[in-house]
Amino acid sequence: EVQLVESGGGLVQPGRSMKLSCAASGFTFSNYGMAWVRQAPTKGLEWVATISYDGSSTYYRDSVKGRFTISRDNAKSTLYLQMNSLRSEDTATYYCTSGQLRWFAYWGQGTLVTVSS
Amino acid sequence: DVVMTQTPPSLSVAIGQSVSISCKSSQSLVYSDGKTYLHWLLQSPGRSPKRLIYQVSNLGSGVPDRFSGTGSQKDFTLKISRVEAEDLGVYYCAQTTHFPNTFGAGTKLELK
């Protein structure tokens, strides 16, 4: 059974940092691109970042470029999102999902990030 | 950025009825490899999104064949034949042809 399990969310003050993790199991993680998608409270889905299967290519939405870093450890089947200089508008549930070759086929349960003083 | 326009924003349906949702993109979604990366997702209340259709018309794993997707270039449609109670929620179209990837605003399917 495929599982994506996010962790690392919580309450953080504006300007601070937070790192999200997504542990994958049940499929060959190293074969597929992966992505982070977020959803602000009561809002729709918003793509955040994508990473290629081997980590050599990364893509970001403009509003997080230079502040967020997507990375992966294929030996640990884990995806990461390092978030720096957090803003109130980054408050959302962050989902880990599959990318290239399995676009949106797998989703985690989401982890809530609340940026507030 | 590619703008994804979904209509209608909401639908009220009776069980057993058939419905269609439209998704139009501001640019062609045909990638350089000739494939069209337009997908449909369903987010049931309180749940993570689930992929229904990928690349316009391919049914996701375990998705009932009451769901079907059609379209090309910039104009796409999701059809649900014989709506069941488990189909209620918010439907999103999404494109992964261009960066940034973008989603439609969603269509909320409710029971009449």
The one-digit pLDDT tens for each residue of chain B (112 residues) are 999 999 999 999 999 999 999 999 999 999 999 999 999 999 999 999 999 999 999 999 999 999 999 999 999 999 999 999 999 999 999 999 999 999 999 999 998 8
How does pLDDT run across A47-62, given as a tens digit for each residue?
A: 999 999 999 999 999 9
* B54–A59 CB contact, under 8 Å: no
- From residue B15, give the alpha-carbon distance in Å to each of A28, A74, B80, B82, B97: 39, 45, 11, 7, 34
What confidence score (pLDDT) does residue B7 get? 98
What confidence score (pLDDT) does residue B101 get? 97
Residues of B engaging A, defined by a Cβ cutoff of 8 Å: 37, 39, 41, 43, 48-51, 54-55, 60-61, 90, 92, 94, 96, 99-106
A69 strand-pairing partners: A82
Cβ contact A108:A95 at 8 Å:
yes
> With a CB-CB cutoff of 8 Å, which residues 30-49 of chain A face chain B?
35, 37, 44-47
Taking the C-alpha atoms of residue A88 and residue A13, their distance in angstroms, rounded to an integer, is 9
* A107–B48 CB contact, under 8 Å: yes
Number of Cβ pairs < 8 A linking chain A and chain B: 56
